[in-house]
Amino acid sequence: MHSSRRRGVVALGLTGLLVGLAGCSGGSDSSGDGDKAGGDAKKGGTLVFGTSADPVSMDGAYVSDGESLRVVRQLFETLVTTKPGGTDIEPLLATAYEPSNDGKTWTFTLRDGVKFHDGTDFDAKAVCFNFDRWYNFKGVQQSASVSYYWQTVFSGYAKNEDAALATSLYKDCAAQDGKAVINLTSPSASFLSGLALAAFSIASPAALTKFEADKVTGTGDEPKFEGSFGIKNPVGTGPFTLETYEPNNRLVLARFDGYWGDKAILDKVIFKPIADGPARRQALQSNEIQGYDLVDPADLAALKTAGVQILERPAFNVGYVGFNTAKKPFDNLKIRQAVAHALNREALVKAKYPAGAEVAKEFMPPELFGYATDVTEYPYDVEKAKQLIKESGVANPTLEFWYPTGVSRPYMPDPSANFQAFSADLTAAGFKVVPKSAPWNPEYLNAADTGKTGMRLLGWTGDFGDPDNFIGTFFRTKQKAWGPLEASIYTDLETARQEPDEAKRTDLYKAANKKIMEFLPGVPYVHTKPALAFAKGITGYVPSPVSIEDFSKVSIG
């Protein structure tokens, strides 16, 4: 009797511990208020959104990662933005904008009656204060890892501390009655699209000063961002204010009742960091979160079957096979053309990519202006590839083909599967393929940047809606990764970047795309549509190709 009782205790130990705790919990109450919104679901409530990481900072000027920018976009606003779900520019804090004839002066008419979260007025002085702040960055603030987007759009600073930096595109800003006049050192048409980036959010000058946004102490190997603006006290004009930020646990945004436009429908949005993709999926299934980004393409079908809403962003990326034309045999156009004809891109996209992915014809997505429909195409044709190899004069061509390991990108969910499929195609056409692989970050990216790779799998996701952010990034300047290109490609792209007339610019980019695809520095093969997942009943979220996505229109139905 004694013995059997003890056995029972031991056997039930684990189960008892678990069930006891769980049983007392009274069911799941770990969800957000998603279910609690009940009958009055359209207004109010709390949405918990799963993110892959905490924001690095909520000071838009200092960040370029998606998780930081997502939060910045809810707290701050920019002078212009993109139309919901697209890349066309429309006013936001500016109600109108006008370039001068020479494209070097831009006048922004500002919205009246806008207040920052701290109650101070949004005006032209505030706009100029922000631009001058970014322009006068010093020391580590000038690092590409800190002010990446300023460098991308404006190239340099008031006093460049690195010889590699170019002259700043920004010259100065003048505050006039209800207008901010921004002068540039040279004409740039991509400037306007760039201003829609969350990095150019207008912050409260009073708060930037009070919370020491620019207080960077320490030197050399230990720069310290000591101000609390980006971590505890971000103050913008956006539809939400920061309520609480507990790194590693939660970031809570609350509706800003003094917002100038339509107030946010939700009371609160909580960002919960869950780094692991499968863990985010399970958290949605257990209703601990009601939405998440970066859905694994492999999960799409199962999530849809389970009744989860899948929202796709319009394609704004490109996956490509890049050549380094400084390396043999990629200096030979016939070989590049033979590779292009040998790759069965349609089959790969159909077999390895989720529905919605499309075969790419050029190095930028069709949604973007300047996309040319009549570029030279290289349809899958093994015989033609063999013929081109013969014509190239290269006997038994050997291709050093690089692919990354330990990574999944929206344009390349499984690099090794892409490599295997393409490698088989190339072998069938008569190429000898030498596989080369390296861990994505930093080895693979280093190898690509320094021109070590002969032929590589890579891709790009656009930052803002301008062709300069795609083909300009790749081909406007000489880069070791690509090797030398036809010289006119560089100059054509620089001309297109500067052209203020939108119609002329569109034509210039169309012509550039045609020229690029004739020269064939690589073979673009896919545009994909990254997906977000939301629980049933969540409405109002509009996915954007450039991730300018607004939680203020979201409701729990």
Partner 1 sequence: MLKFAVRRLLLLIPILFGLSILVFLFVRALPGGPETALLGERSTPERAAQVRAAYGLDRPVYEQYASYIGKVVKGDFGVSIQTQQPVSDEIARRFPATVELALMGMLFAVVVGIPLGFVAGRRPGSWVDNASTVGSLIGIAIPVFALGFLLKYVFAVRLGWLPGTGRQDVTITTEHPTGFFVLDGLLTGDLPAAWDALKHLVLPAIALGTIPLAIITRITRAAVQEVSNEDFVRTAEAKGMTKQVVTRRHILRNALLPVVTIIGLQTGLLLSGAILTETVFAFGGMGSFMASAVFSRDFPVIQGGILFLAVVFVLVNLLVDLSYGFIDPRVRSS
Looking only at residues 139 through 158 of this chain, which bind partner 1 when binding is defined by CB under 8 A?
139-140, 142-146, 148, 151
- CB of residue 446 vs partner 1: minimum separation in angstroms? 5
- Taking Cα atoms as reference points, which of 104, 103, 121, 120 lies closest to residue 112? 121
Tell me the number of residues near partner 1 by CB under 8 A: 81
Output 175 or 447, the one with its CB closest to partner 1. 447
Q: Out of 1, 4, 5, 14, point to the residue binding partner 1 (CB under 8 A).
A: 14
- CB of residue 465 vs partner 1: minimum separation in angstroms? 17
Output 148 or 260, the one with its CB closest to partner 1. 148
Output 48 or 360, the one with its CB closest to partner 1. 48
Output 288 or 550, the one with its CB closest to partner 1. 288
Sole window of 266-274, 374-382, 487-495, 504-512 interacting with partner 1 (rule: CB under 8 A): 266-274
In this structure, are residues 521 and 323 in contact, taking their beta carbons and an 8 Å threshold?
Answer: yes
- CB of residue 462 vs partner 1: minimum separation in angstroms? 11
Residue 366 binds partner 1 (CB under 8 A): no
- Taking Cα atoms as reference points, which of 189, 69, 179 lies closest to residue 128? 179
Output 112 or 162, the one with its CB closest to partner 1. 162
**Interacting positions 286-345 with partner 1 (CB under 8 A):** 286-289
* Separation CA 247–CA 273 (nearest Å): 9
In this structure, are residues 343 and 422 in contact, taking their beta carbons and an 8 Å threshold?
Answer: yes
How many C-beta atoms surround the C-beta of residue 13 within 10 A? 10
How many C-beta atoms surround the C-beta of residue 388 within 10 A? 23
**Interacting positions 32-51 with partner 1 (CB under 8 A):** 32-33, 46, 48
- Taking Cα atoms as reference points, which of 49, 61, 55, 67 lies closest to residue 231? 55
Q: Which residues in 256-377 belong to E strands, given as ranges?
A: 268-273, 291-292, 309-312, 317-323
Output 449 or 502, the one with its CB closest to partner 1. 449
* Separation CA 267–CA 257 (nearest Å): 10
* Separation CA 148–CA 317 (nearest Å): 19
* Separation CA 434–CA 398 (nearest Å): 7
- Taking Cα atoms as reference points, which of 471, 473, 478 lies closest to residue 515? 471
- CB of residue 401 vs partner 1: minimum separation in angstroms? 19
- CB of residue 33 vs partner 1: minimum separation in angstroms? 6
Output 6 or 432, the one with its CB closest to partner 1. 6
Residue 21 binds partner 1 (CB under 8 A): yes
Q: Out of 276, 346, 502, 518, point to the residue binding partner 1 (CB under 8 A).
A: 276
Sole window of 247-255, 380-388, 389-397, 416-424 interacting with partner 1 (rule: CB under 8 A): 247-255
Q: Out of 39, 40, 164, 396, point to the residue binding partner 1 (CB under 8 A).
A: 164
* Separation CA 516–CA 457 (nearest Å): 18
Q: Out of 37, 41, 56, 348, point to the residue binding partner 1 (CB under 8 A).
A: 56
Angstrom CA distances, 252 to 31, 68, 237, 389, stand at 15, 14, 17, 60
- CB of residue 286 vs partner 1: minimum separation in angstroms? 4
**Interacting positions 409-468 with partner 1 (CB under 8 A):** 441-443, 445-446, 449-450, 458-461
* Separation CA 306–CA 535 (nearest Å): 10
Output 72 or 146, the one with its CB closest to partner 1. 146
**Interacting positions 465-494 with partner 1 (CB under 8 A):** 479-480
Angstrom CA distances, 474 to 174, 401, 518, stand at 34, 19, 16
Rg of the chain on CA atoms, in Å: 26
Q: Out of 37, 41, 57, 353, point to the residue binding partner 1 (CB under 8 A).
A: 57
What's the token pair of residue 3? Answer: 């013995």
- CB of residue 248 vs partner 1: minimum separation in angstroms? 4
Residue 218 binds partner 1 (CB under 8 A): yes
Output 143 or 495, the one with its CB closest to partner 1. 143
Q: Is 96 helix (H, G, I), strand (E, B) or coil?
A: strand
